[in-house]
Amino acid sequence: GQQVMQIPQYQHVQEGEDFTTYCNSSTTLSNIQWYKQRPGGHPVFLIQLVKSGEVKKQKRLTFQFGEAKKNSSLHITATQTTDVGTYFCADPMNRDDKIIFGKGTRLHILP
Amino acid sequence: DAGVIQSPRHEVTEMGQEVTLRCKPISGHNSLFWYRQTMMRGLELLIYFNNNVPIDDSGMPEDRFSAKMPNASFSTLKIQPSEPRDSAVYFCASTRQGTYNEQFFGPGTRLTVL
Encode pLDDT of B33-54 as tens digits: 999 999 888 899 999 999 999 9
For chain A, say whether B108 makes contact (Cβ under 8 Å): yes
* Nearest Cβ partner for B102 among A45, A98, A100: A45
Q: Indicate whether A71 pLDDT > 90.
A: yes
Inter-chain residue contact A42 with B108, CB threshold 8 Å: yes
Residue B15 · residue B113 · CB < 8 Å: yes
Q: Indicate whether A80 pLDDT > 80.
A: yes
- Whole-number percent of chain A with pLDDT over 70: 95
Q: Which residues on chain B are in Cβ contact (under 8 Å) with A43?
A: 43, 91, 93, 103, 105
- 3-class DSSP state of A9: coil
pLDDT at A1: 54
Q: Indicate whether A111 pLDDT > 90.
A: no
Which DSSP category does A27 fall into?
S
**Confidence tier at B101 by pLDDT (50, 70, 90):** confident
Alpha-carbon Rg for chain A, nearest whole angstrom, is 13
Smallest CA–CA distance from B95 into chain A, residue: A97
Q: Which segment of A93-107, B2-16, B66-80 scores lowest on mean pLDDT?
A: A93-107
pLDDT at B2: 82
Rounded to whole angstroms, the Cα distance separating A111 from B110 reads 29
Q: Residue A22: what residue type?
A: Y
